[in-house]
Amino acid sequence: MRSPAPLALPALALAGCLRACYGPATPAPAEAPGAVAAVNATPTPPPVLDLEVISALASSGLVTVHLAARGETAVEPRAIFRVELQVPLADARLSLLDAGDALVASAGTREIGAATILTLTPAVALPAGARYRLRVDGAASRELQAADGRRFAPVEWPVVVAGEPPAKKSPPSKAKRR
């Protein structure tokens, strides 16, 4: 008589131990005819929706301009930005980004009621001819999260500061020695 393979005995012992500790294996419940078994138990996140903007404005003194959804909008160097969103979003933030994607130093407010109102005031006047992007996104992640679980895509508006950029100064010429 041949002895069982060396690995078969420990596997049988392990199976017996598992039955003793956890009880016999229970068969899977019978599926109803035509039912599809769940493959992934992880719930799928809600879809990312487009954010409805009521208004997006840049104002300075007596001049107020509506920010265009497409193309650049010219704004004054001392512009204050105001965006009103259709949905109340405690997660929303308004930021101004320069050409290198750096945040521009600014102060802002957020009012939440039936809608969300965001304002942003740059710390210093923006230089003439400079290009920026005004962006509404989420504070915790790039997407905005509503209290009811809805997710919204960020929104941005390209802006250019009115006026001619200052002429570049030529480097001073070196004095010649005699």
| Full strand arrangement of the beta sheet holding 131-138 | 73-75, 155-161, 131-138, 92-97
**Which helix (H) or strand (E) segment is 33 a member of?**
none
Q: Determine, yes or no, domain membership for 115.
A: yes
Q: What is the CATH number of the domain that holds 132?
A: 2.60.40.1220
SS3 content of the chain, % helix, strand, coil (to 5): 10, 35, 55
| C-alpha span between 18 and 16 (Å, rounded) | 5
The number of beta carbons lying within 10 Å of the beta carbon of residue 151 is: 17
Q: Which residue has the higher pLDDT, 44 or 93?
A: 93
Of 4-18, 59-73, 117-131, 158-172, the one with minimum mean pLDDT is 4-18
Mean of pLDDT over the chain = 83
User: How many domains does the chain divide into?
Assistant: 1
Residues with Cβ within 8 Å of 97's Cβ and at least 6 positions away in sequence, in order, are 103, 104, 132, 133, 135
What DSSP string runs through 60-86?
Answer: ETTEEEEPPSSS-EEE-TT-EEEEEES
The per-residue pLDDT for range 11-50, each reduced to its tens digit, is: 445 455 445 545 555 555 555 566 555 555 678 878 999 9
Q: Determine, yes or no, domain membership for 118.
A: yes
Q: Determine, yes or no, domain membership for 101.
A: yes
Q: Determine, yes or no, domain membership for 26.
A: no
Q: Which domain holds residue 73?
A: 48-157
Q: Determine, yes or no, domain membership for 168.
A: no
The per-residue pLDDT for range 134-157, each reduced to its tens digit, is: 999 999 899 999 999 999 999 999
Sign of CA dihedral 167, 100, 108, 49: positive
CB burial of 96-116 (b: ≥16 within 10 Å; e: otherwise) equals beeeeeeebebeeeeebeeeb
* Confidence class for position 69, pLDDT limits 50, 70, 90: confident
